[in-house]
Amino acid sequence: MKGDFSRHTFDGTADYSDVLFQQGRVVADADLNEQSAIVRHRAERTVEDLIGHCGAPIEDGGFAVEPGIAALATHALTATDFLVAGEDGVLLKVAGTSVTPIAVSGPARHLRGVHCIDQSNGLAVGDGGTLLKVTLGASPTATAITSGVTVHLRAVHLASASKAFAVGDDATILAISNPTTSPTVAPIPAPAGMTATLRGVHFVSETKGYAVGDRGTLLEIDTTSIEPAVRVIPMPPGLAPNFNAVRFSSTSAGLAVGDGGAIIAIAVSGSTVTPVSIDPGQGNKADLLAIAYESGGKAYAVGTQAMVLEIDGITVRRISPSQSITSFLANLNTVSFAGTNGVAVGRSNKVIALPGFTQVAGLVLPATSLVIKPGRIYVDGVSAEIASPATLLNQPDLPVARQLDPNKKYLVYLDVWDRLITHLQDPRLRDVALGGADTAARAQTLAQVKVMEVTGSVPNCKPNLQAWKEMVASASSRLRARVQPQAAGTTACEVAATAGYRRLENQFYRVEIHSKDSGGQTAFKWSRENGSVVFPVLEIKVDTTTRVTVRLGSRGRDGNLDLEITTGSSCCTRTCC
């Protein structure tokens, strides 16, 4: 691993079982490192003896890969037609029982919100600041719009054909002008100090709307003036659920729903906004993820455990599914109504019709992703775990995944390794009792599902592939390094290089080879500090075709580990990093 940690002296072949501290002797960091390594080695070998090279629990076995679809948002166009947006950038138009995929430009990021102003125009939003202009018709399209942000956008609402709004992480609020023609995006500042994730938004007019989010966040957004005003609406005492969605039936009445069965009625009278809690009823404490109104004024909320609640005023009634569909029910992530006809979808290829809670006959959504199941797996005794479902193209800590060609064959495998985590990745590692001192780092086990293209016959679970053997083989290359040859010192006080290393500080040289082209040119980077001289990057801005500005969160802790500012230039250089 890269890092500025003390040396590792552990040797598994030595069969050491403990580290014993001796009276009056100095205790070094390396001794403590070896003690933890001995304990981990014993635990991993014990697990490997019991399970073997690779195995998973029967009940919570993780990292199984299977085809599937996870719908995260929907918008009903008519009684029979609707849009579905979901994981891996999936965008589908459903007409009756016919499903048409809509090609999405850009990376395959999760799409978390979709909304249309009519049956021809709409917007979709998603991870990494994804913002799409959706045009429906005989050949539907989804064109990327520059959002100006990189955070996840989680909801979008078109107030009219000329104004739309989107919300997301870090209290992000975007105003989108001319969304159906030539969209332009402008940020709306959130209240000072607010960093909550905003998960739902609804505008009752072009200038007045409401957003909800984590920790009981309810915001009123007023864009009447040139500088929009965002006001925090306080919750009743003791009430601060994570809100997931908000919808209004009129300019004066709406509902917000959230985790733990939270339901809040929102009453608006002039400048007064009053949130009032509604009891969801006994046993209806599942997380509510979405809400929508039907034309008669009733609202329907859906959520985990296949929860469907009908809300009529302050009366809440749970709707039970028809007997024929109970076998495949999963979390319902989203709901939408056109008139009195509603659809709800989630982590299943089936579509639920509301208000009757029946399956839409003859309609099966296509499997659009390779879904990775949550749980644990053991590889050579090492425990790897994934906490929640993911997809091959969107895994934790895997920013760029390989797109698969449906006409090729692939070997799917699990890559497990350790990486170093310092206070730069996790600020909680700083010791607050010592004034925020940077003390010990952490080793984190990572596991990612990856693929390797194969040709010919499909291999079995122990593939006899040369490419696979080369990839898993131990590295045969060795670094050959020496000081610059020098016959003798140039002054009486200078020690010749033939005497060996002459600097005062410890140095651990690290060289990483990245690629080698056909002409023999090699791309690599190197460090004198084992790759530990790093700087947190807050922003990368392309100013011109020849200039890039990188904004750092901090500099080095001393002159030796800091950046060197080149005189007469705006560039920063550091030759040892």
Q: What is d(CA 1, CA 19) in angstroms, rounded to the nearest whole number?
A: 23
pLDDT for the residue numbered 573: 44
Q: CA angle, corner 137, sides to 158 and 345, nearest 5?
A: 60
Q: What is the mean pLDDT of residues 8-17?
A: 90
Q: What is the mean pLDDT of residues 19-35?
A: 92
For the 71-368 domain, the top CATH level (class) is mainly beta
Q: What is the pTM of this model?
A: 0.82
User: Both ends of the chain: CA-CA distance in Å?
Assistant: 16
Q: Are 486 and 496 in contact (CB under 8 A)?
A: yes
Q: What is the mean pLDDT of residues 451-476?
A: 75
Q: What is d(CA 212, CA 199) in angstroms, rounded to the nearest whole number?
A: 6
Using CB atoms within 10 Å of the CB of residue 201, give its burial: 0 to 12 exposed, 13 to 18 middle, 19+ buried: buried
Q: What is d(CA 356, CA 342) in angstroms, rounded to the nearest whole number?
A: 9
- What are 146-173's pLDDT values in tens digits? 999 989 999 999 999 999 999 999 999 9
Give the per-residue SS3 of 29-55: HHHHHHHHHHHHHHHHHHHHHHHCCEE
- What are 17-26's pLDDT values in tens digits? 999 999 999 9
Assess whether pLDDT exceeds 90 at residue 487.
no
Q: What's the chain's average pLDDT?
A: 88
Q: How far is CA 354 from the centre of its chain?
A: 31
Instruction: Compute the chain's Rg from CA coordinates.
Output: 29
Q: Where are the alpha helices (DSSP H) in 334-431?
A: none
The pLDDT confidence band at residue 320, using thresholds 50, 70 and 90, is: confident
Residue (of 281, 289, 284) closest to 247 by Cα position: 289
Q: In this predicted structure, which of 290-304, 334-348, 403-417 has the lowest mean pLDDT?
A: 403-417
Q: Are 89 and 126 in contact (CB under 8 A)?
A: yes
**Residue of higher predicted confidence among 227 and 570:** 227
The pLDDT confidence band at residue 400, using thresholds 50, 70 and 90, is: low
Q: What is d(CA 21, CA 31) in angstroms, rounded to the nearest whole number?
A: 9
Q: What is d(CA 502, CA 482) in angstroms, rounded to the nearest whole number?
A: 12
The pLDDT confidence band at residue 577, using thresholds 50, 70 and 90, is: very low
Q: What is the mean pLDDT of residues 180-188?
A: 94
Phi, psi of 533 (to 5 degrees): -85, 95
Q: What is the mean pLDDT of residues 1-12?
A: 83
Q: Are 317 and 268 in contact (CB under 8 A)?
A: no
Q: What is the mean pLDDT of residues 301-315?
A: 93
pLDDT for the residue numbered 533: 86
**Residue of higher predicted confidence among 521 and 572:** 521
The pLDDT confidence band at residue 576, using thresholds 50, 70 and 90, is: very low
- What are 103-132's pLDDT values in tens digits? 887 778 999 999 999 999 999 999 999 999
Residue 266 identity: I
Domain boundaries defined on the chain: 1-51, 71-368, 371-453, 506-573
List Cα–Cα distances, 397 to 107, 150, 238, 452, 554, in angstroms: 16, 16, 36, 19, 23
The kind and range of the H/E element at 468 are helix 466-472
Residue (of 105, 96, 101, 104) closest to 84 by Cα position: 101
**Residue of higher predicted confidence among 465 and 174:** 174
- What are 223-279's pLDDT values in tens digits? 999 999 999 999 988 889 999 999 999 999 999 999 999 999 999 999 999 999 999
Q: What is d(CA 562, CA 560) in angstroms, rounded to the nearest whole number?
A: 6
Q: Are 166 and 113 in contact (CB under 8 A)?
A: yes
- What DSSP character marks residue 520? S
pLDDT for the residue numbered 462: 58
- What are 542-555's pLDDT values in tens digits? 776 678 888 888 88
Sign of CA dihedral 67, 71, 77, 79: positive
- What are 203-225's pLDDT values in tens digits? 999 999 999 999 999 999 999 99
- Neighbour tally for 289: CB within 10 Å: 25
The kind and range of the H/E element at 229 are strand 229-232
pLDDT for the residue numbered 454: 83
352 Cβ neighbours under 8 A, 6+ residues apart: 308, 321, 325, 332, 343, 344, 345, 358, 359, 360
DSSP 116-170: ESSSSEEEEEEGGGEEEEEE-SSS-EEEE---S--SPEEEEEESSSSEEEEEETT
**Residue of higher predicted confidence among 28 and 465:** 28
Residue (of 215, 279, 224, 220) closest to 248 by Cα position: 220
pLDDT for the residue numbered 503: 64
Assess whether pLDDT exceeds 90 at residue 563.
no
- What are 56-92's pLDDT values in tens digits? 998 889 999 999 999 999 999 999 999 999 999 999 9
